[in-house]
Structure 1
């Protein structure tokens, strides 16, 4: 039989109820309290008399718990007759809230009707504290996990960001999801300009994004200098240390602000931390960051700094690659232009705007030097000239300057230890400064100096070659009223060597003229020497009795002793000025082109034989004689005028004939130069040599010139020769020339003001008692020029001419006459 254990004292049931470790309540079914123990009264501070019979249990609950009591607690108790561990906040007598856990049992009578409710109440204060701590810890863990995930994503983004701008874009996205920041901005340190530049920011960023000097007193600059994390918790704290930041916080209604340095170990000294930028982010209200958050913030700054360091290395490598490519391409583009001025302009074109906003090249060549510039706006000219003078004198580059042109650099262009000139430039906006690009700009100036010096030497040698070439050509052409000679020589555009093309005209006897055009095989000094020997030989061998065929036979024997003259070609003609008969012969040369008054141009294809010393075919040389009309023009030329690799020689002959026919009525002065310019231009690979002979005195001079004032001078020269050949006195000649020039100028100015392709026709006749000149155009004169017959030009014409008529029919015709002195 089991014996009951007894305590050493007697337990009083009443005392057990009153002082139990939990509160006891007994209430009626409506909740009215009918019994309460002392424990409950001690916890809540109520008096027993104030509760029993006066208060219901629900009256002791807070507003929210009363609703829960009605909607959950009471219905569950009614259905289940008991409820367990229901949490409520009990309002104590002094207004405190006491967290409790409630267990209730509903007692019923014999009929099953509710009779009494017995409730036990447990103090849940410590439990609630534990729960809050657990909840806070859980939330902190979740926030930490969220921050770690954000940080991991940012680290991944940073690893994939190759440039500083992309790194900044990744960093500025972190504070929002990681810490709940409302906005963020990233400033990067620009060591070239010694400033911090805002490079990225969220749309709602409240921090200023202008450039900040590193020595500034502003908060961003302070963080960059010290490398310390700054957390500004309130406007008051900001006002104490950074007034300008306080103003920003007030203006943008910001709370806490965080300024985080983006750091990396220095490449030179790993123990030294280098600040590469600053991340600033803020919150809409005051916020205290936990220690774990601050650790994550610092870790973010370190990771971002390492990414920036890597991006800068990448940017430097890419920049060096781009610069190397630019230098190589610039060198190649300069090499294709042999001339000095085009090379200088090409250099400027390469630099602006790819490298510089403005650039200029000044070379100390020639009496006036050379200047090429582009871009704008240009620096102060006086200051720039002063700096250029200093650089030329010292040979040292000036990469910076004081004042508004601080980023304007002046570099010497040096070749063979001599300063040729200077390269001046202003770096384009947003690019690195000139001082930061020292190596690149120095290399560019060195390459440009060498390229420009090579072009200068090329032009110098080319000028020497051309001087030698022209010295070997015939100097003064013979002058005689019975004929006129016009010549033109054009050297190959890209060749420094002396060519073998040449022309000559000389009097064999007072009545016999010789004209010749030849081409020696090869180029260089040997060809030039041979050309001079051939020209001298022809002059020595030409006699009144020999004739062209015999002269060529003698030249064949001459080239047997002068091997370099072998295979030279010659077109040679002798003109009897008394009879206007011409005898000609061609030794392997292109056929002469003849045009007679009223006729079409035709090639003289007779009297052809092989080149000098060719020993090909028959040994006897041929010649052919024709009679020329007064006013005939004979054109001798070399193969450079018509031969092209892209077309057959027949096509070249056709082009020359058409061009020559179109200039049949053009003044002889300028005719050969115009043909050369039309057929070959200025960029050609072979020498061009032309000689045009105008034979006899035309009874009537008929010319048609384009509506170009430059043509008036050529017409005057042609008209002067024609008047002299007719024996017109000097006074009348000057009067006719002046009147004709004024009339042609009026026709161009008024008749063809809007038509540069108009033609002015000039016809001059020598009448028995006067000289008559008619100037005709087909232009449409404006109303303001309708009374031009009373203008200053016509007044001048009337002063020097004896008779003037002005006809406004189809076009405008001015007829002028001057009485010959002999007829007065």
Structure 2
């Protein structure tokens, strides 16, 4: 008892039922070992012996503690455990594996204390050993659960990312690409393939794969016995865990697995509709992915896989709706744009060409339109190699014979569809196209091509009718123009040109005429009737006939216009017609003219600049307003003068003042002063109007008498020689040159010009050849000058195996001289005239 009367806590309490301390040591819940500093066991309790199966005689004095450890732990004991114990004096909760007598390893946790003597020298080591077998199992379970949770979390994250990718993928191809990439990060699959159902062809289409060389990755009928088709029909998830299992159910899959070294395969249907109602489920495709090792999927993985199939199916359904809408919009837009483009073309072949140019490359890489009406022809355009012509001919003949489309089929090496172009039961031609294979939506593409062929057929028929009506209109127009313009008279020459409006099918009211009133009086006229169509053309013909009937040697231009005014009282449609009428006395070279509301004639005499004749003007024919008196003007023309009559289509434009048109015409007319008369009016029309003008153009150019000196400049183009020859022929005839001399001069001049073009300019079309000719009572002299560098000699050739140009010049002319200056060559030729 303590001094206070309570129990003495400094004394050890001993209860009657307490164990003996020695027994407590021997049967403690952990193992005890006492070892010398070198690890030799000197004491061990019963608990440790029971755990390990050893006896005391096996251990005490014979074994060191490190001898009871596994090989790896012995190394750890030597490199870490012993040094740490010696340095710190104690170690706690060191995980070591102790080897039992039956060679089984027991996981343990070890605490050790090093006791030292009074001098600090290590004396003994006391070690407690705890059995960690159950703890290790628990840790394994925890680790497995953690790994499972991490894997599940990873799959969920991957699935979330995939769902996000699917939501952002607008097209079927992008959805398929996102789905086929999913199994690898989500389930550690080694390869994936995706097949989509094409309801039009009732086939499964292989659209994407991470390894196309693995397995039978190709299209197949949905009725196929292959595993993918079976899953597509049934809509069930199939997990084939082994090759043996595949051999039992899917022989084709087993063969593929052996060939590609796959050990497990998952076949996942991509579906829409409720997962628990098989009847309401719609299978849009199948995702197949595989593993290189045999794989057993957990319930959690299977749930995620099924969820992936549902999400992918919904994304595919949405993308297909989007693709269909986009395709319809694109096709509708294409048809609308094509229709607008056709409005810009009216000719049949041009319209067919425009159609083909729009088809390629927008919807096809090669197309051909074969026309069997109108100006028949082929219009072909391609961005790739053309198909086999013989097979195209065969397919075209079949389409024409059956009057039905011949579509390209799966596996068709030709790859071309031929559609007949039918209007009102008649085949106008065929359209052949080669399109990139669209293995889904083929029915929609067929309907689109049929619609396109119908529109093309209608467009071609409209163009054919347009050309037919245009040809009729042109024939009527030209039949109403003068066809008997006088010619072959050395005292004058007339050149005419008529150009109809480019886009108008109706005949117009523009006309020209030239006729001899008497043997020595010439009448020329150019007019324009208001309006278009048959009535205007009829009125134009009546006016032309009336002018011929009213023209006489005594009346003159003013009197003729007065008679036309009275004519309009009976032909009301002739009112407000405009015309310029001139009479030329071929003996005196005197001209009298009158303008009834028409544009003024343009005169270019041999000397000076072009001048507009502004006198003799009055109101249009049949006008009832203002001064109705008719006036005329009389003047004498120099020999070689050129008088141009024309209609308003030549110079009037909506986007410029008419004064600008007058200036342009005068400038171009002056530029062509030295050009041959032949082709002069057509050249003016080409320069000032072009081919796309919206109004008729009518021109008449009169050359009066023969010029004293002929001067012409032509381009270095052999085609110009014929025009020069015709112009020179009229000039020589006008001066009364005899036939032999005329023909000789024409031959020599033509050869000299041809040599200048060939040798002087080497066929350079930008070169210019100047020709001048003079006539005296005794001789005709012609000079041909170029500014090029000749490649041949100037003497008559002795070798006649080549051209005979120089030889003909020397034989045709009496005198020939060549002058080679620093800037070209001049050939001077003279021919003596025959005197009576």
TM-score range, shorter chain: 0.7 to 0.9
Segment drifting more, 291-300 vs 505-514: 291-300
Residue 213 of structure 2, aligned match among 189, 204, 208: 208
SS at match of 2:553: coil
Q: CA deviation at 1:631?
A: 1.4
SS at match of 1:420: strand
Counterpart for residue 433 of structure 2:
425
Give the conservation status (yes or no) of the 8 Å contact 2:108–2:133.
Answer: yes
Counterpart for residue 483 of structure 1:
492
SS at match of 1:486: strand
Counterpart for residue 589 of structure 2:
580
Q: CA deviation at 1:635?
A: 0.7
Counterpart for residue 793 of structure 1:
805
Segment drifting more, 379-388 vs 536-545: 379-388
Matched, 1:696 2:696: no
Taking the aligned partners of 2:394 and 2:33, their CA distance within structure 1 comes to 107
SS at match of 1:356: coil
Q: CA deviation at 1:746?
A: 1.9
Segment drifting more, 412-421 vs 467-476: 412-421
Residue 812 of structure 1, aligned match among 825, 828, 833: 825
Residue 776 of structure 1, aligned match among 775, 781, 785: 785
Aligned pair in 2 of structure 1 residues 383, 103: CA closer, same or farther (>3 Å)? closer
Residue 627 of structure 1, aligned match among 618, 636, 639: 636
User: What do the CA deviations read for 1:669-693 (whole angstroms, capped 9, x no partner)?
Assistant: 1111111111111111111111111
Counterpart for residue 492 of structure 1:
501
5 Å-filtered alignment, 1:601-750, equals: 601-750=610-759
Q: CA deviation at 1:140?
A: 1.3
Q: CA deviation at 1:396?
A: 0.9
Aligned pair in 2 of structure 1 residues 200, 478: CA closer, same or farther (>3 Å)? same
User: What do the CA deviations read for 1:220-246 (whole angstroms, capped 9, x no partner)?
Assistant: 985366456566779999999666665
Aligned pair in 2 of structure 1 residues 608, 241: CA closer, same or farther (>3 Å)? closer
Aligned pair in 2 of structure 1 residues 233, 421: CA closer, same or farther (>3 Å)? same
User: What do the CA deviations read for 1:297-353 (whole angstroms, capped 9, x no partner)?
Assistant: 343344324323322222221111111111111111111222222221211221211
Q: CA deviation at 1:430?
A: 7.9
Taking the aligned partners of 1:722 and 1:708, their CA distance within structure 2 comes to 22
Residue 34 of structure 2, aligned match among 20, 27, 37: 27
Q: CA deviation at 1:52?
A: 1.9
TM-score by length of 1: 0.86
Q: CA deviation at 1:108?
A: 10
Give the conservation status (yes or no) of the 8 Å contact 2:796–2:807.
Answer: no
TM-score by length of 2: 0.85
Give the conservation status (yes or no) of the 8 Å contact 1:583–1:624.
Answer: yes
Q: CA deviation at 1:574?
A: 0.7
Matched, 1:524 2:533: yes
Aligned pair in 2 of structure 1 residues 403, 73: CA closer, same or farther (>3 Å)? closer
Residue 339 of structure 2, aligned match among 331, 342, 346: 331
Counterpart for residue 55 of structure 2:
47
Taking the aligned partners of 1:515 and 1:185, their CA distance within structure 2 comes to 89
Counterpart for residue 773 of structure 2:
764
Give the conservation status (yes or no) of the 8 Å contact 2:163–2:311.
Answer: yes
Taking the aligned partners of 1:591 and 1:224, their CA distance within structure 2 comes to 87
Aligned pair in 2 of structure 1 residues 424, 14: CA closer, same or farther (>3 Å)? same
Counterpart for residue 450 of structure 2:
442
Q: CA deviation at 1:656?
A: 0.9
Cα-Cα RMSD = 4.0
5 Å-filtered alignment, 1:381-392, equals: 381-392=389-400
Taking the aligned partners of 1:260 and 1:784, their CA distance within structure 2 comes to 87
Alignment: residue pair count:
802
Matched, 1:408 2:404: no
Taking the aligned partners of 1:196 and 1:779, their CA distance within structure 2 comes to 71
Counterpart for residue 359 of structure 1:
367
Aligned pair in 2 of structure 1 residues 622, 273: CA closer, same or farther (>3 Å)? closer
Matched, 1:551 2:560: yes
5 Å-filtered alignment, 1:36-115, equals: 36=44, 40-66=48-74, 87-100=95-108
SS at match of 1:567: coil
Segment drifting more, 390-399 vs 809-818: 809-818
Give the conservation status (yes or no) of the 8 Å contact 1:224–1:261.
Answer: no
User: What do the CA deviations read for 1:510-566 (whole angstroms, capped 9, x no partner)?
Assistant: 111111111111111111111111111111111111111111111111112222111
Taking the aligned partners of 1:569 and 1:548, their CA distance within structure 2 comes to 14
Aligned pair in 2 of structure 1 residues 715, 246: CA closer, same or farther (>3 Å)? farther
Taking the aligned partners of 1:309 and 1:795, their CA distance within structure 2 comes to 87
Matched, 1:569 2:578: yes
User: What do the CA deviations read for 1:439-481 (whole angstroms, capped 9, x no partner)?
Assistant: 1211111112212221221121111111111111111102333
Give the conservation status (yes or no) of the 8 Å contact 1:190–1:197.
Answer: no
Give the conservation status (yes or no) of the 8 Å contact 2:85–2:112.
Answer: no
Return 5+ residue gaps in structure 2 as ranges. Answer: 1-13
Matched, 1:263 2:270: yes
Aligned pair in 2 of structure 1 residues 368, 453: CA closer, same or farther (>3 Å)? closer
Taking the aligned partners of 1:82 and 1:625, their CA distance within structure 2 comes to 140
SS at match of 1:749: helix
Q: CA deviation at 1:434?
A: 7.2
Aligned pair in 2 of structure 1 residues 665, 61: CA closer, same or farther (>3 Å)? same
Segment drifting more, 73-82 vs 689-698: 73-82
Counterpart for residue 753 of structure 1:
762
Give the conservation status (yes or no) of the 8 Å contact 1:236–1:246.
Answer: no
Taking the aligned partners of 1:79 and 1:704, their CA distance within structure 2 comes to 120
Counterpart for residue 252 of structure 1:
none
SS at match of 1:419: strand
Taking the aligned partners of 1:142 and 1:789, their CA distance within structure 2 comes to 103
Aligned pair in 2 of structure 1 residues 513, 786: CA closer, same or farther (>3 Å)? closer
User: What do the CA deviations read for 1:144-167 (whole angstroms, capped 9, x no partner)?
Assistant: 122122212212221222123432
Aligned pair in 2 of structure 1 residues 534, 686: CA closer, same or farther (>3 Å)? same
Counterpart for residue 146 of structure 2:
138
Taking the aligned partners of 2:298 and 2:592, their CA distance within structure 1 comes to 114
Segment drifting more, 730-739 vs 232-241: 232-241
Aligned pair in 2 of structure 1 residues 265, 452: CA closer, same or farther (>3 Å)? same
SS at match of 1:561: coil
Return 5+ residue gaps in structure 1 as ranges. Answer: 250-254
Give the conservation status (yes or no) of the 8 Å contact 1:571–1:586.
Answer: yes
Taking the aligned partners of 2:522 and 2:186, their CA distance within structure 1 comes to 103
